[in-house]
Amino acid sequence: MMKSTVADVLKKIPGKASAEWPMGEPFAQAFAHGSMSVEVYAPKDTDIQTPHDQDELYFIHSGHGEIVVAGERHQFEPGMVFFVAAHVEHRFENFSPDFSTWVVFWGPKGGE
């Protein structure tokens, strides 16, 4: 069995700094199995993510704001879940400082 808590994963954020993430990675992995991985994503101020190679689910844990998926804007709050297909542009905007979300990636590159 694999398990994790948001609190434990948030302790790993920010992660290492890089050219893509100069302020440190705003995500950390909880666990993975096969093509599935589970992360917590907690950007600060701005979300600069780019489209991913796999399908993904965002389970909003805390905070509120907007998610923009393929140009469509949606309000979010804790308890909501969003599906984003592989290679679809998306980002979080106007989010509160306490924003964090579970992210589940799965399936083949390119999506199902």
Q: How many Å apart are CA 54 and CA 110, to the nearest integer?
A: 6
What's the pLDDT tens digit per position in 58-109? Answer: 999 999 999 999 999 999 999 999 999 999 999 999 999 999 999 999 999 9
* Least confident stretch, 36-40, 48-52, 83-87: 48-52
Q: What is the pLDDT of residue 13?
A: 97
CATH number of 6-106: 2.60.120.10
pLDDT at 8: 97
- What predicted TM-score, i.e. pTM, was given to this entire model? 0.94
The model's pLDDT over 23-37, given as tens digits with 9 standing for 90+, comes to 999 999 999 999 999
Strands 81-84 and 55-62: antiparallel
**What integer pLDDT is reported at residue 92 of this predicted model?**
98
- Give all strands (DSSP E) within the chain, no chain letters: 27-33, 36-41, 55-62, 65-69, 72-76, 81-84, 90-93, 100-106
